[in-house]
Structure 1
């Protein structure tokens, strides 16, 4: 470059020519850089079907994990792997998945889809699904300003009420869009791992999930903006407009296979089969109701068999309190005092059992609860019994006649006792499925009674929420601090009470 400048100084062209040459050189360099920056081995566009598959797969919260311990379905008795403590910290919220949902919709349009298409219809449902799970974990969230990319990098937080207003709108719009798509015959969809691209089944799942959301809002049933009771009745009383799941087979459920192994399988039998035992919260409910599902999911305690009890005796099954000191629990489990999960059922294959995300039994219990509470007319007993039968059939139990005839199982009517029965059976049906739903329902209703003690930590209290993500506290501090102040008097406390349960 020095030689070039020297040449032009001596020539009649002068320095203006040098500047022109350098500008051309820089422009060429920029174009070359942009070309070189592109990686020919990476795609610049991803089919919407691939993005959909990923977003759907992430809906599965799996089984036999931390969440299921928090639901008090089972306990860890070996602290090398885990404890039973509710030492909750910062939540991890799936905003990246929601960004991918937006990308999915964009890619569908790039591929020639109309504004109304199956990917956009399911995109609204996915927004509603993920936002519901996020807000139930932390409280207020950014909605109006969220997912705007570089346009809004520090989104303001909307109230939890406004989040649910938007969730219910997304679900209404998703149902409406699916109705139009089904009627027009525009069912072009690919990448669906749950319903084999069947939009009719998806529409049922959308509306079934909507009733779940409305049940979550039971403490706000008289809110004039949300119109919870009216909305529930509108969905339930208009089956042609809002079709719902009709049986167990239409549940939204994850099917495990050799490429996606069930969390408990032959590979980890030696690692945790006896390092986890059943919880008293769950097992005692089954024992109290003389529930045959007990014999399917658990093994009798060896110490009880040594006393002469048989595997068919309900008293042969013993669960540990989640609040028990871990060292004590470990010692007792080692002596055979507690029941383990059924190794025959959960460790004999890689496919295990399907994991519900939104299930038909839950739908039945939600309708029964709404009738019990006077939101809608109908026969709560019919829905209550149908929920029990559907759950039992999942475990291969085909005859529930004798079970339903028991005095403590027979529906007690639209009373507080009847509601307790509905909620207890709903909890039983959530065993190892539906993510945090068992915990969310406990937090809303207090049913069943969760057990606490030194083993659960947190001052022997069950926390009521997670803290906001640490990334938000560092990158969007002003807005998240405003949200914490508005909701919890400035303390991002896991024991604070969020709006939905006040």
Structure 2
């Protein structure tokens, strides 16, 4: 009687068809959260991007240390993508199937997410299950070549799907609600991100044709449409009650999170109105110096590289030296949503194009794209000339209102030309535009360019410096040891060292 178990009619079985919309929704949610520390605003990643600093650990302020070892793993995403492809093909066939097309973008995103963290990874033989239990490792050069092919295929297929009114709509799309025109722009804008991330290999890797591909996109807008405004952003949208803004614990302990000096110094130096949405004036400035809330000198960030005990002691009472996170905007409650979380955004794309022009990859008006990026970021945070912002203390008690002066700020950051100084401006303003969004992109930009200079020192880790990569996932090394060992030897001389540079950074 125990040889067979009856099927539960209320639960999907292993071989029962799951609608592709369910799988798509899950994969999109997974990539929005990342496969390691949560890719969300005001969490640990915010401190690693040097947007905020924690004053206490292990309480809710959190650690500021870069003391990681092995990375999280995005291959579980791939398993769901493969299942999505199977179920979508079974349900709708292979011709002009939007789920299959979006899965190509998702495959590209999955492999890039991991290779950016460790170096060479299995790609071509990954996800084949029992067919290949020990997949070989592809080089980063091979990975990016394959990724660009996937993105081009997705762009071409989206063109056909959009043109065919009989194409079946997709459901479960938490980013674009099935709008394939926006997906097409996202695919090409993401490709621009990847191309600029390879700037160190632009002159010595003809197989990738990095500059040529960038030119191809910019010079063929009908074939490669890209983002046109903020409405095209790939955003994760928070919803009151059901999908809350992730500060429900921080709001109980607002005096344990300050704004980082790395980002706040860039804001205050240029009299950037984003200062007022990010930070509070320091207690010392208000209670000892008697400064006004509109005085940019009243705002000072904390150094992420300092010992946490020192940061805590220097932040206490009316003589506290540091600006806290803006309680009124971010900490009033989990159902007060300040802004969505950008996955891939228009402002970033503008800066990427400006950087490419500045570097001489493409012709065009770098200043125009730079200005578009700055203005788009201001618009995203609701900042316009003459707008008013209520400024409060660490607990949200209002001090009063400040009037936003966008015009003066834009004058202060006027582009200085296609030279090193201009490039520095582009990278600094792109970093500020990443405030509480875009995953690891702020860190990856610092790692690639050194701009802005992240703080490193006693509070960073025992080495007093920021790692350049992660070690390979333990399960990958344990279960695919021969291939993993060869990859580590080939790239890093046999030492899976977090301070070593991978191919894309050399």
Q: TM-score, normalised by structure 2?
A: 0.90
Q: Which residue of 1 aligns with 2:245?
A: 262
State how far apart, in whole Å, the 2-side matches of 1:229 and 1:320 are.
Answer: 39
Partner of 1:152: 132
Q: What residue is the counterpart of 1:463 in the other structure?
A: 467
Alignment of 1:162 with 2:125, yes or no, is no
Contact 2:260/2:302 (8 A) holds in 1: yes
- Bigger Rg over Cα: 1
Map 1:364-375 → 2, pairs under 5 A: 364-375=350-361
Q: Match for residue 80 of structure 1?
A: 58
Q: Return the match for 1:290 from 271, 293, 296.
A: 271
> d(CA) in 2 for partners of 1:65 and 1:93?
19
- Paired residues, number: 467
Equivalent residue for 2:43? 65
Match of 1:251 among 233, 236, 239: 233
- In the alignment, the residues of structure 1 paired with residue 279 and residue 425 of structure 2 have an alpha-carbon distance, to the nearest angstrom, of 22
Q: CA–CA distance in 1 between the matches of 2:85 and 2:478?
A: 30
Shift of 1:83: 1.4
In structure 2, which of residues 142, 152, 159 is the aligned counterpart of residue 172 of structure 1? 152
> Distance between the aligned counterparts of 2:159 and 2:66, measured in 1?
43
Q: Which residue of 1 aligns with 2:424?
A: 420
Question: 1:21: which partner in 2?
Answer: none
How far apart, in 1, do the equivalents of 2:503 and 2:8 lie?
48
- For 1:1-150, what aligned pairs fall within 5 Å after superposition? 33=3, 35-36=4-5, 38-43=7-12, 44-60=16-32, 61-81=39-59, 82-150=62-130
CA displacement at 1:42 relative to structure 2: 2.7
Flag the 1:112–1:96 CA change in 2: closer, same or farther, 3 A: same
- Give RMSD over aligned pairs: 1.4
Q: Distance in 2 between matches of 1:168 and 1:111?
A: 28
Match of 1:384 among 358, 361, 370: 370
Q: Which runs of 5+ in 2 are unaligned?
A: 33-38, 386-405
- Could you report, residue by residue, the CA deviation over 1:38-73 in whole angstroms, capped at 9, with x for unpaired residues? 544431221110110011112222111222211111
Partner of residue 293, structure 2: 311
SS at match of 2:342: strand
CA positional deviation for 1:458:
3.9
* Native 8 Å contact 2:182 2:232 kept in 1: yes
Asked if the contact 2:94/2:100 (under 8 Å) is kept, the reply is no
Aligned to 1:227: 209
TM-score by length of 1: 0.91
Q: Is this contact kept in 2: 1:298–1:340, CA < 8 A?
A: yes
**Partner SS, residue 25 of structure 2:** helix
413-422 or 98-107: bigger deviation: 98-107
- Structure 1 outlier segments of 4+, above 6 Å: none
Structure number with the higher helix fraction is 1
Q: What residue number does 1:9 align with? A: none
